């Protein structure tokens, strides 16, 4: 058995403190005690405890001050705050400062022990995730950036679901980082050393989707010259990530549901049943409940997928992350474009933090890429990031300066045409796709890409 954790109790009332000590020692924990905030602070600085039970009101430093101090601690313990004022603002502040939970006095010991175990377990998982974040992800471009309370909550959740094999539905507006979250869950799971295979339910034509998912035998249909392993089979031992799940057509929904019920597949043209060994993650930016009500998405499939939900918050609800995120995205884009990473001026960062970002992180990323290409100096100023259209230079082609680069120019042209078509069709997407002479699905992809949906 793993040795029980060490715990700090900070409680100024001697009787309460000793009762807690006895309880926790009986449970096999190693216990340190402090009778006021200053003593607790000293103990926390010296010794590594896994959890701390902090009274909110203490002489010296109170529990909230200790919590603030712990933010700078390299490996802070999980904190449970004890308060006599359960609904008070202090309890809420404690949560915002990163306490795992708060317990109201008089304490319920059974509840305390359960919460304590959860807190320690959660800390182990999240700190593993953090370690992963900082070591392995640094420089790979997979690092998840953001310290806002909303993101911290997300890390906690990722840590919790990673340890299980349960199906997770990842939801959020487009460009919020759903795929990033899926990758983080996978890498941190028991299947993390195996592969994660992604199926984009929106981009594969329906006629190919089945073959793509389940594979086929040679000659299963015209054009099937060879046997092919489907993605479900290819992901064996690992994770299968079903992206854009809301875009599945009705007939594919039926097929997927059958697979999930039986947890086995058959390649097209074969009647050999292959048991599935995958962990399922799914993502969508659709309102699935509405789709269910409107009969566009099967309710039974919805319940199969929606075992645990993780909601990725839109960027405008975590504006405090924008400066750090912007710097990170700039470094990443500069590396990709083999450019010197510029610095972001304060007024540029301020401008970015004030925007709505309907296309979320992806839109921010595009904005910065464009600014990177336009801003030739080492500092990106407000006018670089704020300019809707770059100033036309003399050598511009149809208003596109050559320095803008092919990618950014094409994107700007594409976006402009899509906006025009949507305006002309009064927002009717099918009609807009007709005007643009592209497939409706492609239009949807583009709308998402440009944050126009
Ligand atoms: N917290 C973050 N830290 C760093 N990069 C991020 C973060 N969130 C998103 N990104 C980046 O933003 C881009 C969009 O992220 P991702 O593809 O995961 O979003 P998504 O929600 O799946 O979008 P869509 O709905 O369009 O499919 C990616 O380049 C990703 O690396
Ligand atoms: Mg995605």
| HEC sequence for the chain | CCCCCEEEEECCCHHHHHHHHHHHHHCCCEEEEECCHHHHHHHHHHCCCCEEEEECCCCCCCHHHHHHHHCCCCCCCEEEEEECCCCCHHHHHHHHCCCCEEEECCCCHHHHHHHHHHHHHHHHHHHHHHHHHHHCCCCCCCCCCCCCHHHHHHHHHHHHHHCCCCCEEEECCCCCCHHHHHHHHHHHCCCCCCCEEEEECCCCCHHHHHHHHHEECCCCCCCCCCCEECHHHHCCCCEEEEECHHHCCHHHHHHHHHHHHHCEECCECCCCCEECCCEEEEEECCCHHHHHHCCCCCHHHHHHHCCEEEECCCHHHHHHHHHHHHHHHHHHHHHHCCCCCCEECHHHHHHHHHCCCCCHHHHHHHHHHHHHHHCCCCEECHHHHHCCCCCCCCCCECCECHHHCHHHHHHHHHHHHHHHHHHHCCCCHHHHHHHHCCCHHHHHHHHHHCCCC
CA-183 nearest atom, ligand 1 = 18
CB of 145 closer than 6 angstroms to any ligand 1 atom: yes
Question: Are residues 196 and 304 both part of a single domain?
Answer: yes
Asked if residue 59 is part of any domain, the answer here is yes
Distance 84 CA to ligand 1 centre (A): 42
CB of 365 closer than 6 angstroms to any ligand 1 atom: yes
Q: Which ligand is nearest to the CA of 174?
A: 1
pLDDT, residue 376, reads 62
Asked if residue 1 is part of any domain, the answer here is no
How far apart (Å, rounded) are the C-alpha atoms in residues 354 and 343? 18
Question: Are residues 275 and 339 both part of a single domain?
Answer: no
* Listed residue (229, 219, 227) closest to 197, CA to CA: 229
- Looking at the 3D structure of the chain, how many domains does it have? 3
Q: Which ligand is nearest to the CA of 173?
A: 1
Distance 176 CA to ligand 2 centre (A): 8
CB of 179 closer than 6 angstroms to any ligand 1 atom: yes
Contact indicator for 44, 6 with CB cutoff of 8 Å: no
How far apart (Å, rounded) are the C-alpha atoms in residues 235 and 277? 8
Cis peptide before 356 (omega within 30 of 0): no
How far apart (Å, rounded) are the C-alpha atoms in residues 63 and 77? 13
CB of 238 closer than 6 angstroms to any ligand 1 atom: no
Distance 204 CA to ligand 2 centre (A): 14
- Give the C-alpha distances (Å, rounded to integers) separating 26 from 18, 31, 32: 12, 10, 14
CATH assignment at residue 229: 3.40.50.300
CB of 411 closer than 6 angstroms to any ligand 1 atom: no
Burial state string for 265-295 with b = 16 or more CB within 10 A and e = fewer than 16: bbbbebeeebebbbbbbbbbbeebeebbeee
pLDDT, residue 102, reads 81
Backbone φ, ψ for residue 52 (5° rounding):
-135, 135
Backbone φ, ψ for residue 196 (5° rounding):
-110, 125
Distance 283 CA to ligand 2 centre (A): 7
CB of 446 closer than 6 angstroms to any ligand 1 atom: no
Domain boundary among 276, 311, 346: 311
Asked if residue 137 is part of any domain, the answer here is no
The sign of the dihedral angle between the CA atoms of 424, 363, 302, 243 is: positive
Contact indicator for 305, 169 with CB cutoff of 8 Å: yes
CA-178 nearest atom, ligand 1 = 21
Which tokens belong to 7?
């715990």
Which tokens belong to 212?
């793509």
Nearest CA to ligand 1 atom 16: 177
CATH assignment at residue 435: 1.10.8.60
pLDDT, residue 176, reads 96
Strands 228-229 and 215-216: antiparallel
CA-180 nearest atom, ligand 1 = 18
* Residues spanned by the domain of 178: 149-311
Which tokens belong to 453?
């949906």
By most ligand atoms within 8 Å of CB, the mutation choice from 320, 333, 359, 361 for ligand 1 is 361
Asked if residue 187 is part of any domain, the answer here is yes
Question: Are residues 288 and 361 both part of a single domain?
Answer: no
* Listed residue (291, 304, 217) closest to 255, CA to CA: 304
CB of 246 closer than 6 angstroms to any ligand 1 atom: no
Domain boundary among 260, 283, 311: 311
CA-146 nearest atom, ligand 1 = 1
CB of 362 closer than 6 angstroms to any ligand 1 atom: yes
Question: Are residues 186 and 306 both part of a single domain?
Answer: yes
pLDDT, residue 78, reads 92
Asked if residue 134 is part of any domain, the answer here is no
CB of 178 closer than 6 angstroms to any ligand 1 atom: yes
Backbone φ, ψ for residue 122 (5° rounding):
-65, -40
Question: Are residues 335 and 430 both part of a single domain?
Answer: yes
Asked if residue 132 is part of any domain, the answer here is no
Question: Are residues 98 and 199 both part of a single domain?
Answer: no
Contact indicator for 235, 278 with CB cutoff of 8 Å: yes
pLDDT in tens, the chain (453 residues): 556 889 999 999 999 999 999 999 999 999 999 999 999 999 988 888 999 999 988 888 888 899 888 877 777 899 999 987 555 567 667 777 778 888 888 889 998 999 999 888 878 776 655 554 444 444 455 678 888 889 888 888 888 888 889 999 999 999 999 999 999 999 888 898 888 999 988 877 777 888 888 888 888 787 777 788 889 988 989 999 999 999 998 888 998 999 999 999 988 888 889 898 999 999 999 999 999 999 999 999 999 999 999 999 999 999 999 998 999 999 888 888 778 888 888 889 999 999 999 999 999 998 998 888 777 667 888 888 886 544 445 566 776 777 777 888 888 889 889 988 888 888 888 889 988 989 888 999 899 888 887
CA-182 nearest atom, ligand 1 = 18
Distance 360 CA to ligand 1 centre (A): 8
Asked if residue 135 is part of any domain, the answer here is no
pTM: 0.62
Domain boundary among 279, 311, 343: 311
Question: Are residues 78 and 106 both part of a single domain?
Answer: yes
CB of 37 closer than 6 angstroms to any ligand 1 atom: no
Contact indicator for 336, 370 with CB cutoff of 8 Å: no
Question: Are residues 279 and 210 both part of a single domain?
Answer: yes
Question: Are residues 370 and 420 both part of a single domain?
Answer: yes
Contact indicator for 310, 171 with CB cutoff of 8 Å: yes
Question: Are residues 22 and 77 both part of a single domain?
Answer: yes
Distance 180 CA to ligand 2 centre (A): 8
Which tokens belong to 203?
């981009």
CA-174 nearest atom, ligand 1 = 25
CATH assignment at residue 55: 3.40.50.2300
How far apart (Å, rounded) are the C-alpha atoms in residues 282 and 171? 9
Asked if residue 75 is part of any domain, the answer here is yes
Distance 143 CA to ligand 2 centre (A): 16
Question: Are residues 411 and 384 both part of a single domain?
Answer: yes
Nearest CA to ligand 1 atom 30: 177
How far apart (Å, rounded) are the C-alpha atoms in residues 452 and 418? 9
Residues sharing a CB contact under 8 Å with residue 83, sequence separation 6 or more, in sequence order:
55, 56, 57, 63, 90, 91, 94, 102, 103, 104, 105
Question: Are residues 244 and 291 both part of a single domain?
Answer: yes
Distance 442 CA to ligand 2 centre (A): 15
CB of 332 closer than 6 angstroms to any ligand 1 atom: no
Distance 52 CA to ligand 1 centre (A): 35
């Amino acid at each position: 058995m793993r040795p029980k954790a060490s715990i700090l109790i900070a409680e100024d009332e001697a009787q309460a403190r000793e009762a807690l000590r006895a309880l926790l020692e009986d449970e096999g924990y190693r216990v340190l005690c402090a009778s006021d905030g200053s003593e607790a602070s000293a103990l926390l600085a010296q010794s590594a405890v896994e959890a701390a039970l902090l009274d909110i009101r203490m002489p010296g430093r109170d529990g909230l001050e200790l919590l603030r101090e712990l933010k700078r601690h390299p490996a802070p313990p999980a904190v449970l705050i004890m308060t006599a004022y359960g609904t008070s603002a202090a309890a809420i502040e404690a949560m915002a400062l990163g306490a795992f939970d708060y317990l109201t006095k008089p304490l319920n010991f059974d509840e305390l022990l359960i919460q304590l175990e959860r807190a320690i377990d959660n800390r182990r998982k999240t700190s593993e995730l953090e370690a992963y974040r900082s070591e392995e992800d640094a420089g790979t471009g997979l690092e998840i950036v953001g310290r806002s309370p909303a993101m911290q909550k997300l890390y906690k959740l990722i840590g919790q679901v990673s340890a299980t094999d349960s199906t997770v539905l990842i939801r959020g507006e487009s460009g919020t980082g759903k795929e990033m979250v899926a990758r983080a869950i996978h890498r941190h799971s028991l299947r993390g050393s195996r592969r994660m295979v992604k199926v984009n339910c929106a981009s594969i034509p329906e006629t190919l989707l089945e073959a793509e998912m389940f594979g086929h035998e040679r000659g299963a249909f015209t054009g099937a010259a060879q046997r092919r392993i489907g993605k479900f089979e290819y992901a064996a031992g690992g994770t299968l990530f079903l992206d854009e799940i809301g875009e599945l057509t009705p007939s594919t929904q039926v097929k997927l549901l059958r697979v999930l019920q039986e947890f086995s597949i058959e390649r097209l043209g074969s009647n050999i049943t292959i048991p599935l060994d995958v962990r399922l993650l799914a993502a969508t930016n659709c309102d699935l409940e509405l789709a269910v009500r409107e009969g566009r998405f099967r309710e039974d499939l919805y319940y199969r997928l929606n075992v645990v939900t993780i909601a990725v918050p839109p960027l405008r609800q975590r504006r405090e992350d924008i400066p750090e995120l912007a710097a990170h995205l700039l470094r990443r884009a500069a590396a990709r474009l083999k450019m010197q990473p510029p610095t972001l001026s304060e007024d540029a960062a301020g401008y970015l933090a004030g925007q709505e970002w309907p296309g979320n992180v992806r839109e921010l990323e595009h904005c910065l890429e464009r600014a990177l290409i336009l801003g030739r100096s080492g500092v990106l100023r407000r006018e670089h990031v704020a300019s809707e259209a770059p100033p036309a230079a003399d050598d511009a082609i149809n208003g596109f300066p050559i320095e803008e680069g092919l990618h950014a120019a094409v994107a700007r042209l594409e976006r402009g045409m899509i906006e025009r078509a949507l305006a002309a069709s009064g927002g009717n997407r099918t009609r807009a796709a007709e005007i643009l002479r592209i497939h409706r699905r492609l239009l949807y992809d583009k709308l998402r890409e440009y944050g126009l949906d």
